[in-house]
Amino acid sequence: MTTEMSIWSLFANASLLVQLVMLLLLAASIYSWTLIIQKYRQLKQAREGAETFENRFWSGIDLVELYKQVNKRRDGLTGMASLFEAGFGEYARLRKQDGLSSMDIVEGAQRAMRVSLSRELDRLEASLAFLATVGSTSPYVGLFGTVWGIMNSFRALGSAQHATLSMVAPGIAEALIATAMGLFAAIPAVIAYNRFSNEVERLDNRYETFKEEFSTLLQRQATS
């Protein structure tokens, strides 16, 4: 309780600029943790969704039947299911047209899957740029607040007739809190960004592999 009161006291006694820096870093930290929790849940759902759909896809189910099941919830599709829906839907549409070769049909399905994959990656990568920004800039923002606070402390020390350490120690402590808050905001954001970026890359590779395997199946069907 004493520590909490001393921290609040240091914040309350800091200069206005240092207080604004602290509040900015606190807001960035809170928002970063909100994004971290949301992104963790989103990527977990994406991994589980890919696993579930792959099991259904390779279970031997008829592709037409699988497409009908998937298409019923078209508006809420994400991940691998959205790739399948886009690719097979375009494949079925092109097969009804006259004058198209099997290669043209498969290439059309591949283009549809590439568009769907691009949208899915945009969805998964959303908010990662903010975490990267917080992780890279927060220490410098905190350092700016610290430098400003220390400058004010030494300016006050210079105008005093009898300078003692007890006169500048509170001001320096107030300033150093800004650096601590900058690190507090930056470290989780950097760790989360690195982990989530790796997860997105792994999902991208998984989607690409499925796209290639599915394209091979469509090519076999188109030429049969």
The pLDDT assigned to 99 comes to: 79
Q: Each residue of 40-76: pLDDT tens digit? A: 999 999 999 999 999 999 988 889 999 998 888 777 7
In order along its 224 residues, the chain shows pLDDT tens digits of 344 446 666 666 667 887 888 899 999 999 999 999 999 999 999 999 999 999 999 988 889 999 998 888 777 788 999 999 999 999 999 988 887 888 998 999 999 999 999 999 999 999 999 999 999 999 999 888 888 877 777 776 666 555 565 666 666 777 788 888 899 999 999 999 999 999 999 999 999 999 999 999 998 887 76
d(CA 131, CA 136): 9
**Would residue 63 be called left, alpha or beta, if left means φ above 0 and alpha means ψ between -120 and 50 degrees?**
alpha
The model's pTM is 0.83
Using CA atoms, how far residue 14 sits from 176, 179, 223, in Å, is: 11, 13, 75
For all residues of the chain together, what is the average pLDDT? 86
How far, rounded to the nearest angstrom, does the alpha carbon of residue 164 sit from its chain's CA centroid? 49
- Taking the CA atoms of residue 197, residue 199, residue 200 and residue 202 in that order, the dihedral angle to the nearest 10 degrees is 120
The pLDDT assigned to 101 comes to: 86
The pLDDT assigned to 1 comes to: 38
d(CA 32, CA 109): 38
The pLDDT assigned to 14 comes to: 67
